[in-house]
Structure 1
Amino acid sequence: MTLHRTPLATALFAALAIAPLCARAADDAGHDPAQAKKLGTVQVTADADKGYHADSSQVDTFGSFGNAPLHDTPASVTVITRDLIDDRQPRTLSELVRTDASVGDNYAPVGYYQDLAIRGFVLDLATAYRMNDMTINGEQLTPLEDKQRVEILKGLGGLEAGIIAPGGIVNYVTKRPADVRTATLGTDSHGSRYAAVDMGAWLTPNFGLRVNAAHEDMHSYVQHTPGRRSFLSLAADWKISDRATLQLDTDYQTSGQRSVSGYQLLGGTTIPAHPSNTRLLGYEPWQQPVGIHSSNTTARFDYRFSDRWSARLSAGHSHTVINDNVAFAYGCFYAPQCATGEYPGNFFAPNGDYDIYDFRSPGDTRQNDEVRAVLKGGFDTGSISHEVSLGASAFRRTLDQRPYVYDYVGTGNIDQVIPPYFAPSPNQPGPSARTFSSWQRALFGIDRIHLGEQWQVLAGARFVRLHERAWDSSGQVLQRDTRLSRTLPQAAVMWQPTAPLTVYASYSENLALGAEAPYWTSNGGQMLAPVHSRQIETGVKYDWSDTLSLQAALYRIRQPYQFAQPDHSAAGFTFVQRGQEAHTGLELGADGRISDDLRLTASANLIQARASHSGTPAYEGHQIINVPRLRTSVYLDYRLPFAHAVGLLAGWRYASANPATPDGRVRVPAYNVFDAGLRYATAWDGHPMAWHLSVDNVFNRFYWRDTGGAYGDTYLFPGAPRLARLSVTVGF
C-alpha cells in the first residue's frame, strides 16, 4: 500500500459540518422567546462522581447474566471508564488494558493490529472483540475517540458468545448523543500530531446525533515507522415512543504504518543480550506500510411490552481490509549457522543472524455479520421470582485473500542498526478468492431465580451449531469442512448476606476451535479438533461505599493441551492435543473513589498455568509460555485539596519473570514500570478547558512486555521507552 498524506480537513469535515446544526438545535430548544414561560420549581439531583468506578456493563444486560448490576453479576468484569481513558490517553489496545492485571499482550506489534491474552488464554480475533455487544473483527486498530467505556469479561463466555476461546471478551461501548461540542489537540515527545472533535445534540426531544472524528500523524518510537490514521463515527438515538427506541452506530477508520517484527530466542535457547526497543529489525526501504481500512456498524431496537417484559433486536456488521506488507525478520533457515540443520530454523541464529522475507498480502478482507433477538422478562411462582432471558442469534464470518508473496531476500543481524539492502522479490500476489466461511447459529436462555432476599441461582445454556469451511489460497480446493452441534451450560449461585456484599460460585463450559499446526511440524497446516473448556469460579464483591468497590475471584480453567510435541518424525515435531492445560488463579481488584480527592483503579492476578499428562515430561510442571505468575497494576488520581483544578496521576505496573520456552528453561526478567501524569481544568475566554499530560515508563526502563506467539511461532517484543503525551480539550 502507498500511504498518501490525508489532510486533517478530510477527517474532520463531516463533524465540522454538523456543528452549526447541533448548536442551532440546542439554542433553538432553549432560547425561543415565543415559547418561553415561567415554570414551577424543579429539584435536580445527580449521581456523585464515582471516579473510575462503574455500576453496570452491557455484557450483563441482555447477555449471559440476565439484567443485573455488576455487583450482582457472578463473573469478573472490568470496566475501563471514559475518565480513565482521558487521563491515560491510550492510543492502542495494548496501552488501554494496562490497568487490568489479568490481561496481557499476545503478539501486539507496533504498526499492526494487536491481540491479547486474558487469564493466560489468547483471545479469538474472530469472535472475542465486540462493539455494543456485537461481534467485530479483531484484526483492526479499534479507535477510542467515540468510546464511552471498555468492558472486559474475564473467563469463559460460552453463553454470551458461543464458540470462542476461553480467555474472555472485550466489548467497546460507544458514546450516546448528548449536548456536547469539544475539540482536542495533542502531541507527544516524538513530535506526533493529534486532533479530534466530539460534537452532538438532541435535534428534537426524541432524536439525537453525535459525531466523533480524529486525525493523527504518528511519529513512532521505533525508527522508520511513522504512520497516519483518520477516523469518523456517527451515533444516533431515536425515541420512537415511550415503549420503543432505536440506536445506530457506525464508524470508519483508515490507517497506515510500517509493522515492527519481534525478536526471537537465539538458537531457540538464549535471550538477545543487547536488544533495542527503537530498532526496526529487517528494515528495507521498499517496505510499504500496513494499511488497514475498517468499518463497524451496530443497530439496536428495544421495545418494552410492560414493566417486566422487553425485547431487543440487534444487528452488527464489521468489515476490514488489510494491505499487509512487511520486510519480516524471522528464523535463520538461510543463515550460515542454521543452514546445516545444527540449530532450529524457526528461531534467530545463536550469533543474532535472522532471515528477511518480503511478505505481501494485499486485499486481505475479513467480514463479520451478526443478528440477535432477545426476550427478557420476569414472573413469579409463589414466593420465588424469576428473571429470564431467551434468545436466538446467527453469526457469519468470511475471509477473502490473495495468494501472498513470502520470499526470502537476505539475512541480517540484530546488532546492525540498518541491515544491508536486499532487492524485493519480483513475484506478485495472485487473484483474490474466498478462503474461509463460518456460520454459527444459536439458541440460548438463562433464568435468574430469586430465593428470598439473600439467595439467587442462575441457570442457563446455549445450543450452538457450527458450519465452517476452509479452502486453499486459490479458493478451489476444500481443505476443511467442520460441522458440529453443542450445548454449553452455565450455572451460578449467589449469596448476599448484606446489601454491600455478594459471594458467588459459578460453573461454565465453552467450546473453541482447535489450533492450526505450525508449518514446521510434520502435520503443518492441519486444523485440530475443537476443544472443550470448563471453568469453576468463586468470588466476592464488596461495595465499600457508593463510589468504591472491591473484588476477589478464584478461578480454574481447563482445556486440552495443544502443542508441538517432539518426536522422531522428519520434522522433529508433530502438533497434537494431548493431556490437559489448567490455569488456576486469584484475582484482586479495587476501583472508584477512596476520598473526595483520591481515585484509584488497582488489580492483581496470581496464576499457575501448567500442562499435565501430555506425554512430554519436559513440558510439564512449568508455567505456560507468556503467562507470568504475578501481574499487578495500580493507577491513582489525586486532586490537590488546595487546588481542585489540578490532579496528579501515578501508575505502577509489575510482571514477574515470563516463560519463553515450553520447558521453562528460558524466562525473560520481571519488570516494574512507573507512569505519571497531570490533569489541569481551567477556562479560556469563557470556554471550559482541560489539559492532560501523561508520561509512560517514567524511568525509561527496558523490559520485555510479551513472549507470546502467532501461527505456532513465538516472539519477544520489547516494551515502549519513555513516552510523554500532552493534549488540551476545549468546549465550545
Structure 2
Amino acid sequence: MSLYRQAVVAYLGLLLGTSCNSMAEEAASDPLELGETRIVDDQLADGSAELGYRVESIQLGPLGNGKLQDTPFSINTVSGELIRNTQATNTTEALKYVPTVYSNTGASQITPYFTLRGFTASTWTYNMAVDGMRNFDVYQPMEDKERIEVLNGANGFLYGITSPAGIINYTLKRPTKRTLREFTLGTYDQQVYGHLDLGGSLTDDLRYRLNLLQSDEGDTNGIDDQSQERHLYSGALDWQVSPDTLLMLDASRSRRDLEHAQALFMTSAAIGIPSAPNMAKNWGAPYTGAMDATNRFGIGLETRLNDVFSLRAKARYSRIERSYFLNRLSFVNKDLDYRWRVDSQEEFDTLVKQYNLFLDANFSTGPLQHLFTVGLTRDSYDSADTGYRGTTYATVYPGNLHGNTGYPAWTEPPRGTSTSQETHYTTLIFAERISIGDKWTIMIGGTRARVDDRSTSRSATGVETTTRYDEQEFSPAYSIAFKPIPAVTAYASYVESLQQGMVAGATQANAGEVFSPYVSKQKEVGLKATLGNMDLSLAWFHIEDANQNVDTATNVATQDGKAIHKGWEFSATGRLTERLTLTGGYTKLDARIDRASANEGKTPQGVPESMAKLYAEYDLPGSTSHSGLTLTGGVTYTEEVPWDASNTLYVHSVTLWDAGLRYRARIRDKDTTWRLSVSNLTDKDYWTTRSGILYLGAPRTVSLSSTVAF
C-alpha cells in the first residue's frame, strides 16, 4: 500500500473512529419461541463482548430455535461481535479459535475445506447452511452474519444428507427495532474496505436491516501480489402482519474476485515433505485466481394458528456463479525442483430452489409437556459447467522451492470433461420432545432422506455419459437429557445419517466415478454447564462411517472399509473474571481405518489427532462497554497431520500466536472503537494438508479498523 493510502486510511480512522458499541449487538432479536411469534424488543444481544461472546439461542434446522446449553448435541458458536473484533474476513479466520475445526487449506482462498471430528466439511460434502437451510456457494461474506454455529458430528436427523463432520450454519443479521447506524473503515493487510450496517423501524410493524461492503484490490492474507476485491449488498425486512404472524424477507448480492492466488504443492513419499518456505512469497502465477458471485432471495413465514399449533415456512432462490484458475507445483526430486500444473473451471453456474414447511404442536398430557414437529424440506440443485481444463507441463520451469520461481506463459489448457447435474434432496422429518418436569427431556425423531441425482458428462471428443441414482434411507435419532440443577445439562444421543456416495474429483485418475450412498452412525455423551459467566461443554463421541481416501501413488479415489472416529471435545466461552474473557477449548481424536483392504489401523489423511485453541481479552482498569482499552490475543496448537493414507509422511505440528488491542471512546457524542490485530505474530511458516495436497498457511498479517456509530 502506498504511503498516501496509508495516510488516508489513518486520517479517516481517526476522524470517524469505530464503534463496537453495541448497536450492532441490538441486531440480534430474541429467538421466536413457539407460541410467541412476534418481533420482540431488542436487548443486550447474544454473543456480545459484554457477555463474553456467550450465545444463548441457536438454530437447530427444522427444530427451530433452541437454547445452546439445553441441546443434546455438541455445538460451538462464533458471534458476529467476535467476528468483528477479531477482524475475520472469511470463514477460515472466523473459525480459527473453534477447538473442533481444522482448516485443511491454510491460507488458500479458492476453495476452503475443514475437518470436524476427522471428517471433511465443505460445500461439496453438504456441510454448509444459511439460516438452517442447506447452502451451495463456496464464498460467504462475514459482514451480514449475526453468528456462525458449528454443529459437530453426524446430523442427518436435522439436515438430511450430509457427511458426519457436522454443519457450519451461517445466521444472517435480522432487522432491529432501535435505530442502528454504523460505518467501519479498515485495512486487512493492504486491502482497504468500507462496511455500512443500518437497521431500524420503518413503521411500528415493519423493520429493516441493510449491510453494504466494498473492498479494493489491495494485497491480502500477507501474500505478495495476491489481491481480492469484494462487495456485498444484503438486506432484510421483518413485517409483523398480525400479533401472531411474522413475514420475513431477505435478499443479497455478493461477489469476490481473487487474483494471483497462492499455489498449491504436491510431493511424494520418496521426496518427502520439505520445510515450509516463506509464506509471504507468492508461488503462483499472475493469471491464477477465482471469481465467486451469488444472488440470493428468501422469504419466510411464522404464524401461531392457535394455542397448540404453529406453522413455519421458508423458500429461497439462489443463483451461484463460479470460475477459477489455480496451479499446483509438483516436486520432481529431492532438490525440490518442480513442474507446473494448471487446473481451471472456466464457468460453473448453479441454480438452487429450496423450500421447507414445518408444523409444531405444543401441548401437555398429565405431567408431560410435548413439543412435536413434523415437516418437509426440498432442495433442488441444477448446475452446469463449460468443462474442466487441466495441463501438466512436462518441462521443469526455472522453479525451485529454495531458488528462483518461474511459471509458464499463459496458454489455455485443453478442454476436458464438462458436466451438468440435476439433484433433488427431499427430507421428511418428525421429532417428539417430551419434558418430564424441569429435569428430564426425551427426544425421539427421524428423517426419511432421499437423493435423486442425474449427472451427465461430455468429454472433449463429444462422448456423453449419464449416471443416475435414486436412494433413500430412514435416519433415526434419540436423546435423553437430565438437568440436576438449572445450570447443568447431561445428555446422551444416537444419530444416523445418510450420505451421498463419493464422486471422484476431476483431477483424480478415476474422475467422475460415483460410489454408492452409505449410512454413518454416531453415539455421543455430553455435559454442559454454566459456571458464573462461563459456558462449558464436554462431549465424548463414537462415529462409524465408510472409509474414503485418495491413493497418493495412483491418484485413485476409493471407498473401502470403515472409518471409526472417537474422541473428546471440550469448549469454554465467557467471562472468567470481570475483566478477562476467554473462548476456546481442546479436541482429542482417535481416528482409525477398519476392515479395509489397505491402511488398516491408519489415521485418515488430513486429520490431526489433537487441537488446542484459546482466544483471550483483558479489559484494563477503568474500561467500560463504551470506553477504555482491551488487550487481545490468541494461541492455536495443531498436532502433526498425516499427509497420506498410509501415514508415511506427516505435516509437522504447529503453534501460532496472535495479538491485538481494542480502544473504545466517545468522540463528539459518538461511540467509536479502534481495533488492531496481528495474526501469526512470529511469522511462522507452516503447511496444512488434505487429499495429499500441501497448502501454505497465512504469514503475519496486520489488520486495522475503525467504526463509528452515528
Whether TM-score is above 0.5 comes out as yes
Q: What is the letter of the counterpart of residue 586 of structure 2?
A: A
User: What amino acid sits opposite 1:183 in the alignment?
Assistant: F
Residue 245 of structure 2 aligns with which residue? Answer: 244
CA distances 1:692-716 after superposition (whole Å, capped 9, x unpaired): 1111111222222x2113xxxx212
Output the CA distance in 2 between the equivalents of 1:197 and 1:44: 20
Could you tell me how far 1:308 is from its partner in structure 2?
Answer: 4.0
Q: Which AA in structure 1 matches 2:174?
A: R
Alignment partner of 1:265 is 2:267: yes
Corresponding residue for residue 362 of structure 1: 346
Question: Is residue 669 of structure 1 aligned with residue 652 of structure 2?
Answer: yes
CA RMSD of aligned residues (A): 2.5
CA contact (8 A) 2:315 2:356 kept: yes
Query: 3-state SS of the aligned residue for 1:86?
Result: helix
- What whole-Å deviation, never above 9, does each CA across 1:272-291 have from its counterpart, x for those lacking one? 235221233342x4x15322
User: How do 1:442-461 residues align onto structure 2 when only pairs under 5 Å count?
Assistant: 442-461=427-446
Q: Pairwise mapping of residues 203-602 of structure 1 onto structure 2 (< 5 A)?
A: 203-217=202-216, 218-220=218-220, 221-258=222-259, 259-267=261-269, 269-273=271-275, 275-283=277-285, 285=286, 287-326=287-326, 328-331=327-330, 348-409=332-393, 410-412=395-397, 413-415=399-401, 419-426=405-412, 435-473=420-458, 477-517=464-504, 523-545=510-532, 547-564=533-550, 575-602=557-584
Give the TM-score of the pair, scaled to structure 1: 0.85
- Partners in 2 of 1:564 and 1:716 — Cα distance? 14
Shift of 1:665: 2.2
Match of 1:624 among 590, 604, 608: 604
Cα deviation code 1:113-141 (max 9, x no counterpart) = 3121211111141432121112222422x
Q: Which amino acid aligns with 1:472?
A: S
Task: State the distance in 2 between where 1:623 and 1:254 align.
Answer: 38
Structure 1 residues 555 and 421: CA distance shift in structure 2, 3 A = closer
Which has the greater radius of gyration? 1
- Inter-partner Cα distance in structure 2 for 1:265 and 1:417: 17
SS in 2 for 1:442: strand
Contact 2:197 2:212 in 1 (8 A): yes
- 1: distance between equivalents of 2:213 and 2:514? 40
Does the 8 A contact of 1:657 with 1:667 survive in 2?
A: yes
Say whether 1:613 aligns with 2:614: no
Comparing 316-325 with 227-236, greater Cα deviation is found at 316-325
Q: Deviations over 1:202-248 (max 9, x none)?
A: 01111111111111123122223122111111111111110111111
The partner residue of 2:146 within 148, 164, 173 is 148
Q: Does residue 1:638 correspond to 2:618, yes or no?
A: yes
- Residue 56 in 1 paired to residue 61 in 2? no
Q: 1:572 deviation in Å?
A: 5.5
In the superposition, relative to structure 1, how do residues 548 and 625 fare at CA in structure 2: closer, same or farther (>3 Å)?
same
Question: Are the aligned partners of 2:569 and 2:587 in contact in 1 as well (CA < 8 Å)?
Answer: yes
Cα deviation code 1:531-558 (max 9, x no counterpart)? 210000000001113x321110000111
Map 1:683-698 → 2, pairs under 5 A? 683-698=666-681
Aligned to 2:6: none
Q: Answer whether contact 1:124 1:164 (CA < 8 A) is retained.
A: no
Aligned letter for 2:335?
N
- Cα separation, partners in 2 of 1:201 and 1:721, compared to 1, 3 Å: same
- Are the equivalent residues in 2 in contact too, given 1:177–1:200 (CA < 8 A)? yes
- Structure 2 residue runs of 5 or longer lacking an equivalent are 1-40
- Distance of aligned partners of 1:203 and 1:418 in 2 relative to their CA distance in 1, 3 Å threshold: farther
SS state at 1:371 partner: strand
Q: Are 2:58 and 2:65, in contact at CA under 8 Å, matched by a contact in 1?
A: no
Q: What is the deviation of 1:67?
A: 5.4
**Do 2:91 and 2:142's aligned partners in 1 also have CA atoms closer than 8 Å?**
no
Q: CA 1:73 to 1:268, structure 2 compared with 1: closer, same or farther past 3 Å?
A: farther
Matches within 5 A, 1:29-178: 49-59=50-60, 62-63=62-63, 68-107=66-105, 110-126=108-124, 127-140=126-139, 142-178=140-176
Select which of 717, 720, 728 maps to 2:698.
720
CA contact (8 A) 1:128 1:138 kept: no
In percent, how many aligned pairs have the same letter? 26
- Is 1:180 matched with 2:180? yes
Cα deviation, residue 350, structure 1: 3.4
Code of the residue aligned with 2:680 in structure 1: it is N
Q: What is the distance in 1 between the residues matched to 2:67 and 2:594?
A: 38
Paired amino acid for 1:162 = G
* Higher RCO structure (Cα 8 Å, ≥6 apart): 2
- TM superposition shift of 1:663: 1.9
Question: Is the alpha carbon distance of 1:293 and 1:416 closer, same or farther for their aligned partners in structure 2, counting shifts above 3 Å?
Answer: farther
Alignment partner of 1:681 out of 649, 664, 669: 664
Hey, what does 1:338 align to over in structure 2?
none
Q: What does the per-residue CA deviation read over 1:303-354, in whole Å, with 9 as the maximum and x for residues that have no partner?
A: 012344311111122322112123x12446xxxxxxxxxxxxxxx5433233
- What SS class does the counterpart of residue 201 from structure 1 fall into? strand
The one-letter code matched in structure 2 to 1:355 is: R
SS of 1:436 mapped into structure 2: strand
Residue equivalent to 1:38: none
Secondary structure of 2:242's aligned partner? coil
Rounded to whole Å, the distance in 2 between the matches of 1:235 and 1:597 is 35
Native 8 Å contact 1:269 1:666 kept in 2: no
Distance 1:524 1:324, change over 3 A: closer
**Distance across 1 between alignment mates of 2:158 and 2:42:** 38
* C-alpha distance 441-476 of structure 1, shift in aligned 2 (>3 A): farther
Aligned length: 655
CA shift in 2, pair 1:367/1:550, >3 Å = same
Give ranges in structure 1 of 5+ residues lacking alignment. 1-42, 333-347
1:540-593 CA-partner distances (Å, limit 9, x unpaired): 001113x32111000011112123569xxxx95764433210111100011112
CA-CA distance at 1:381 after TM superposition: 2.5
The one-letter amino acid of 2:214's match is H
Aligned-pair CA distance for 1:416 = 6.1
